[in-house]
Structure 1
Amino acid sequence: MGCEDGDCAHSWHYAPYRSLYGALELGRGVAVARLRHQRQRAELVYQCCGRDTRWDWQTDSRSTYLARLLRDLRLDVAPLIAQLHACGPYRAWLESDPSDEDNQFDLAVGVLTTLARAGGGQAREALRRYIHNGVRWIDALTTLTVEWPVEWWDDLWETAAMRVGVGDTAQLWPSEHPWSRWRGRDARLDAVLGAAVRSRSPGCVRRVSLTDASDADLIALLRSTDTDAAAMGLALGQIRHRGRPIPELLDIVERLAPARPAGLFGALRTLGPQVLPLARAWAADADHPLFRNAPHLLAEQGDEQDIAVLFAALDQLGDEWCGYDVLTEGLARILMAAPPAAHTDTRAMLIRRLRWLTVASPHSYERASYLRSLLLLDEERTMEVLPIHLLDCEPSVRLLAARHTPLTDDARSWLAELRDDPIEDEDVRLAAAERLPA
């Protein structure tokens, strides 16, 4: 797994996770601590700002992590501003901008927006100037109106009214900030926003509400061969939303499985232990449509007899990285419920896997899950390393560490930083404040 030896099919691969640069790419706290003592290597931060090294750009976090490094190491943000302007107009993936193939634009906007919140005047003014003259100004404006207080961007309405055109309607969401706030201030802007509303109307499909449908009605919809995919997804979504088991779903799941309709897995989760016999059968049949989903159901509801299947599912993930959290959480739950003397080798093997995932996985969003499992299985050793996770890239990891870390000298210092940092998430700041003496 991974690209440790470079022997892979990828055109680019992560640096070794044991190296400073590799730890920095993965957003680990140890990289922050080491750079504070090796400031001569601070240029590595620019390399991570120049290429988005997150495994999943949608869920993994880096903006606060990189912004803190730039601020605390007193690095010039000019290269990041130049990177912002170097990116051309947004294009679909197959025609991607060569200056933005690695998400350089969104990464730069995110880091600069965060730096501005930390009091970075240069970053704030650079983004405001970009709204006046940047190519992807609408994308940047959308981000900063979410992240900044309204008084920092409200005066940009005149620039937006002057620059926006009918060709921009696909990028505009009139019901959201800043457009909903600015509507009515300028006739030309209002005309473009009206065109944006109309352009979406023909493509909008009116959804039939199933809120008042009975459980029997939902099952009848799923049984009917006349139900289209959209309605089927709505029915399954409603079952998931209600969160209570509807046993009749078990009678029709085999008919639904080949099509794998949206929402099926979420609906199956509501069945709880009732789904176990089927899930075990699916997990034993590699040709079954739900073969890959079955271990996740077993992770949530299974017991000791499912341990081998869950480990096999871990091995099947390979380089996909996503999904280890659900499987390892399930294994940790099962092993903790077993007698202490049982499955000692299995427990040790899972602990080794979790330790490795914690330091080596590029999918940082799952790191908090690995740590929670390790606190269950190997509390003493995990508590020893927990302080360094106060510097992690993921707010969920920092929150976990803030709540549970032993109060070493380093931990006290880092908790004080989190408590007083204006760019830290509010729940992390509160947790840090609760751990420190008055």
Structure 2
Amino acid sequence: MSIEAEDIPPAWHYASYRSLLGELQRGHGIAVVRLRGQPEHAQIVYECTSRDTRWDWQVDNRRGYLARLLRDLRLDLAPLIAQLRACGPDRPWPHRDPTNDDNQFRLTVGILETLARAGNAQASEALRGYVRDGLRWVEVLEVISEEWPVEWWDDLWEAAAARLDLDDTTHLFPSGKPWRHWRGRDPSLDARLDDALPNRCDSPATGNDLTETSDADLIDLLRAPDTDRGTLAMALRQIRRRGHAVPELLELVEQLRAARAPGLTRALHTLGPLVVPAARTWAADSDHPLFHDAPDLLAEHGDEQDIPTLLTALDRLADQWCGYDQLTAGLTRIVAALPPNAQTDTRALLVRRLRWLAIASPHSYERPSYLRSLLLLDWQHTLNNLPAYLFDCEPEVRQLAAENIPLTDNVRSLLTLLRDDPIEDDDVKHAVARRL
């Protein structure tokens, strides 16, 4: 049986970054400004709440951004509540819930939780009601108990005790909220939580504790051919956490790379300038296993002679969205330290690339880095755009904008709104308060 081409749904893609929808999908503040001036187009927000448009669901931020849009544009929450209810049970891979292919469930929970925290009674009751009879109620309960004041969810303990069964205990963290808060209220609930302990680890196993191990002994562990990968990872993690250079690590790079030791590159960053000569060699050899990692090391620790290598590494990232931040931050560090009349072509090229990344990349987690670089290299032009950055999806972008924006009467009004907004992050509020 053949499948006609027209029966295959087209692959989803981002709208143009020049369009209002594309700006919304990327979490840009300019989209907020435009929608506030054109509320008749507000329905477009639902296109970004009906699927998770983040490039990376783990680090990119949209929850507060979309919640604020729904609130300020007075949009009906019924579509989100229906979306919450439409998602099926959480299933282990490779099984899937086709109603949640695009992370609709967690996106919706995050938006509704944020709105409830800001005082929206409809959002609050939707989530509380879901705990009473929804399919993925444990997940919702753990989210709201972590984010809300205890008095907002404490009365749900009886519903939770009545619902909790053996299948649910495989999905919960018994030593986390709300379970540890409810211990001792009901013997049967305590028994089910006790049953969950062997099934769910609240923190990854750490194995041997290497915190007191000397640098020399860590190197001996890394050098020993029979050290397992888990111990290699822990030893490298200890070196990284200590933050000071352990030069002997350079001698073990080939061996550790062959052993696929997790965390090697991050540990190499602790070497500082000591790693630069080796990183230049690795970056020049496309067959070297650290060929792709070497530019990041040079970005953090290299100097003017590494600019061509970093520009070439930037060009290799074509059709990707991850990794630009480290390279552009490194280039900015190097170029900004030079006299204004040095590397003028590189400076102009870098500014153009940063401007494009700041508006075109959907990977908003990297946007604070781009803005920080633009404030160093393209100060005046960037200042003119800071008002829109006050509404960006990333808290760190909003904080940078608040810290650097010229204070006018209109700006003071915008900053006051941010300071008093219950949806706003605390770090942004503190930055705003300092400016005001």
TM-score bracket for this pair, using the shorter chain length: over 0.9
Where does residue 245 of structure 1 map in the other structure? 245
Where does residue 102 of structure 1 map in the other structure? 102
**Matching residue's letter, 1:163:** R
CA contact (8 A) 1:65 1:393 kept: yes
CA contact (8 A) 2:229 2:260 kept: no
Gaps of 5+ in 2: 1-8
Matches within 5 A, 1:36-435: 36-200=36-200, 207-435=207-435
**Matching residue's letter, 2:160:** A
The 3-state SS of whatever aligns with 2:184 is coil
Where does residue 6 of structure 2 map in the other structure? none
The 3-state SS of whatever aligns with 1:391 is coil
Gaps of 5+ in 1: 1-8
CA contact (8 A) 1:260 1:289 kept: no
**Matching residue's letter, 1:360:** A
CA contact (8 A) 1:387 1:410 kept: no
**Matching residue's letter, 1:252:** L
**Matching residue's letter, 2:429:** R
Task: Give how far 1:255 is off.
Answer: 1.5
Relative to structure 2, which stretch is displaced further, 53-62 or 335-344?
Answer: 335-344
CA contact (8 A) 2:50 2:104 kept: yes
TM-score normalised to the size of structure 2? Answer: 0.95
- Write out per-residue CA displacement over residues 63-93 of structure 1, whole angstroms, 9 at most, x where no aligned residue: 1111111111111101100000000001235
CA contact (8 A) 2:87 2:105 kept: yes
Task: Give how far 1:61 is off.
Answer: 0.7
Task: Give how far 1:432 is off.
Answer: 1.5
Whole-angstrom distance in 2 between the partners of 1:322 and 1:212 = 36
CA contact (8 A) 1:391 1:414 kept: no
Whole-angstrom distance in 2 between the partners of 1:411 and 1:18 = 25
Q: In 2 relative to 1, CA 206–70 (structure 1 residues): closer, same or farther, beyond 3 Å?
A: closer
Whole-angstrom distance in 1 between the partners of 2:204 and 2:152 = 34
CA contact (8 A) 1:236 1:267 kept: yes
**Matching residue's letter, 1:229:** R
| RMSD across aligned positions (CA) | 1.5
The 3-state SS of whatever aligns with 2:16 is coil
Task: Give how far 1:147 is off.
Answer: 1.2
The 3-state SS of whatever aligns with 1:320 is coil
**Matching residue's letter, 1:121:** A
Task: Give how far 1:183 is off.
Answer: 1.4
Q: Percent identity?
A: 62
TM-score normalised to the size of structure 1? Answer: 0.95
- Write out per-residue CA displacement over residues 219-258 of structure 1, whole angstroms, 9 at most, x where no aligned residue: 0001101100011111111111111111111111121122
Where does residue 5 of structure 2 map in the other structure? none
The alignment of Structure 1 onto Structure 2 pairs a total of residues equal to: 427
Task: Give how far 1:27 is off.
Answer: 0.5
Q: In 2 relative to 1, CA 71–351 (structure 1 residues): closer, same or farther, beyond 3 Å?
A: same
Where does residue 3 of structure 1 map in the other structure? none
Whole-angstrom distance in 1 between the partners of 2:107 and 2:336 = 40
**Matching residue's letter, 2:274:** Q
CA contact (8 A) 1:389 1:401 kept: yes
Task: Give how far 1:417 is off.
Answer: 1.1
- Write out per-residue CA displacement over residues 351-403 of structure 1, whole angstroms, 9 at most, x where no aligned residue: 00000010110001111110100111111111111111001111010111111
The 3-state SS of whatever aligns with 2:319 is helix
Task: Give how far 1:434 is off.
Answer: 2.4
Whole-angstrom distance in 1 between the partners of 2:11 and 2:301 = 40
- Write out per-residue CA displacement over residues 284-330 of structure 1, whole angstroms, 9 at most, x where no aligned residue: 11111111110100000001111111111111122321111110000
CA contact (8 A) 1:390 1:411 kept: no
Task: Give how far 1:200 is off.
Answer: 4.5
Whole-angstrom distance in 1 between the partners of 2:377 and 2:93 = 43
CA contact (8 A) 2:347 2:377 kept: yes
Whole-angstrom distance in 2 between the partners of 1:420 and 1:200 = 39
Whole-angstrom distance in 2 between the partners of 1:10 and 1:231 = 46
Task: Give how far 1:10 is off.
Answer: 7.7
Structure 1 stretches of at least 4 aligned residues deviating more than 3 Å after TM superposition: 203-206
Whole-angstrom distance in 2 between the partners of 1:321 and 1:431 = 29
**Matching residue's letter, 1:158:** E
Q: In 2 relative to 1, CA 10–119 (structure 1 residues): closer, same or farther, beyond 3 Å?
A: same
**Matching residue's letter, 1:89:** P
Whole-angstrom distance in 1 between the partners of 2:85 and 2:93 = 20
Where does residue 4 of structure 2 map in the other structure? none
- Write out per-residue CA displacement over residues 252-288 of structure 1, whole angstroms, 9 at most, x where no aligned residue: 1121122331121121011000011111111111111
Whole-angstrom distance in 1 between the partners of 2:29 and 2:79 = 24
Q: In 2 relative to 1, CA 41–55 (structure 1 residues): closer, same or farther, beyond 3 Å?
A: same
